[in-house]
Structure 1
Amino acid sequence: MTTRQQRIAARGRRLETAAAAVTVVVAGALCAAVPAEDTARERRTAGLTMVADGVSRPEAVDTRPPLPEAGFLPRAEPERLRIPQLGTDVAVYADDAEDDGTPPVPDEDDAERAVWYQGGPSPGEQGPALVIGHLDTDDGPAAFAGLGALEPGAEVRVDRADGSTALFTVDSVEQYAKDDFPNERVYGPTRTAQLRLITCGGDWSEEEGYDANIVAFASLRN
């Protein structure tokens, strides 16, 4: 096991991804501690790492067992993800879980891109498509900066390799302590086509990095 994988395993929480029939670890490296200057530390405590008031709507999230339904898109890799509310426009690449079961996480020097977990559904297929991105680095905001401020009803556009664009509507944005992550809620099977955008959040320390994960739940717009 590499040093990076050991760090992820030590700080992440093991999650069972029912939809993909594999076990992964929540993105510990996404929120791991890195050396930080005072300006970076101040930025991380400036209120941008928490979920905004009124954006969490737990009852709006589809976590029901799947049933055969029409309206899904054929499988196609995501290539770009855009969130007009945040001004987000980032490239997306596909990757597998790490050898030790950890999910793919962009390298710190590749923090302007997000990664899709290709062991699960693609955006538009039935089930939860997982896209992971960094919140920030010591150089400034990263791919999923501001994710906790997304409002219910906001649009997420995913450009796919087949030339189509999957349009999603944000249902809820939630924040979980890393030691109390709701495995089934985030990773379990769903009746509809869902998108899960995952980044880090909460309080930050030099010793442990961020102590929480932010998850934006979105549904395919038919």
Structure 2
Amino acid sequence: MTRTRSPLLIWVLAIVAAAVTLTVLMTGPGSARTGTTTVSAPAGAAVESLPLAASAPTGIEIPAIGLTRDSVMKLGYNEDLSLQVPPDAATVGWFSRGAAPGTNGPAVFASHVNYHGAEGGFAHLDDLTAGDQILVHRADGSSVAFVVDRVEQASKQAFPTAQVYGPTGDAQIRLITCGGQFDADRRSYEDNVIVFGHAERAWR
């Protein structure tokens, strides 16, 4: 029996060939962990049942590393089908061709570890540990709290595409930046740091 590949699978396989490249121009930063890991719903907020209907992210908070962004850039992919990256150090981007945060599937976010000498939005991503929380605000006025399951470091030559982009039976999140050794010739790190997490609760 002949098996055909779905457009999604073809695209995912193309991503693995190109992997994720977050270009950087300096060595990695030191720890900035604050020790604060939890996020709380505002008083009077109404609980929402997961999964949610699709809505784009408008902001992201990671208290454990002191990250707050009041806007999130939409990312697609380049002509070679590699993931686009934000155009500056501070911006956090969301892969808009994947899952929206709070819907079933992995919502994928990316930011630089550092860029042109400036500390990146995900500079301290590797300081996160299991149990830390991530809060994503959405355009429909809702917010989703995610819990970190694990943090991995993977070679860009063996990027775990299926684990990062593949379908899931619940709402999950992925955060991606550069890590590992810095390749001075390529002006890029050799690895990616990837945070895996799941949605715990949502409110409006």
Give TM class, smaller chain: 0.7 to 0.9
- Pick from 96, 120, 133: which aligns with 1:142? 120
Alignment-derived partner of residue 221 in structure 1: 200
Q: Indicate whether 1:88 and 2:97 are aligned.
A: no
Q: Indicate whether 1:124 and 2:117 are aligned.
A: no
Q: Following TM superposition, by how much is the alpha carbon of 1:26 offset from its aligned partner in structure 2, in angstroms?
A: 2.2
Provide Cα deviations, 1:123-167, integer angstroms capped at 9, x if missing partner.
111001111110112433111011011011101001111111111
Alignment-derived partner of residue 9 in structure 1: none
- Pick from 59, 68, 72: which aligns with 2:51? 72
Alignment-derived partner of residue 207 in structure 1: 185
List runs of 5+ in structure 1 lacking aligned partners.
Answer: 1-15, 35-39, 49-69
CA distance in 2: counterparts of 1:136 and 1:129, whole angstroms = 22
CA distance in 2: counterparts of 1:160 and 1:20, whole angstroms = 26
Contact 2:12 2:165 in 1 (8 A): no
Residues 200 and 21 of structure 1, relative CA distance in 2, 3 Å threshold:
closer
- Pick from 154, 178, 190: which aligns with 2:156? 178
Letter in 2 for 1:79: T
Q: How does 1:8-27 map to 2 (within 5 A)?
A: 18=9, 23-24=14-15, 25-27=18-20
Contact 1:199 1:214 in 2 (8 A): yes
SS of the residue aligned with 1:102? Answer: coil
Letter in 2 for 1:27: V
Alignment-derived partner of residue 136 in structure 2: 158
Contact 2:73 2:86 in 1 (8 A): no
CA distance in 1: counterparts of 2:97 and 2:10, whole angstroms = 9
Contact 2:92 2:111 in 1 (8 A): yes
CA distance in 1: counterparts of 2:108 and 2:10, whole angstroms = 11
SS of the residue aligned with 2:135? Answer: strand
Provide Cα deviations, 1:8-29, integer angstroms capped at 9, x if missing partner.
xxxxxxxx9649868433222x
Contact 1:17 1:184 in 2 (8 A): no
Normalised by the length of structure 1, the TM-score is 0.71
Normalised by the length of structure 2, the TM-score is 0.77
List runs of 5+ in structure 2 lacking aligned partners.
Answer: 1-6, 32-48
Residues 152 and 23 of structure 1, relative CA distance in 2, 3 Å threshold:
same
CA distance in 1: counterparts of 2:61 and 2:165, whole angstroms = 22
Q: Indicate whether 1:31 and 2:23 are aligned.
A: yes
Q: Following TM superposition, by how much is the alpha carbon of 1:115 offset from its aligned partner in structure 2, in angstroms?
A: 1.0
Q: Indicate whether 1:169 and 2:169 are aligned.
A: no
Q: Following TM superposition, by how much is the alpha carbon of 1:78 offset from its aligned partner in structure 2, in angstroms?
A: 0.6
SS of the residue aligned with 1:184? Answer: helix
Among all aligned residue pairs of Structure 1 and Structure 2, give the percentage whose two residues are the same amino acid: 33
SS of the residue aligned with 1:157? Answer: strand
Contact 2:19 2:157 in 1 (8 A): no
Alignment-derived partner of residue 111 in structure 1: 89
Letter in 1 for 2:149: D
Equivalent pairs, count: 174
Q: Following TM superposition, by how much is the alpha carbon of 1:31 offset from its aligned partner in structure 2, in angstroms?
A: 3.3
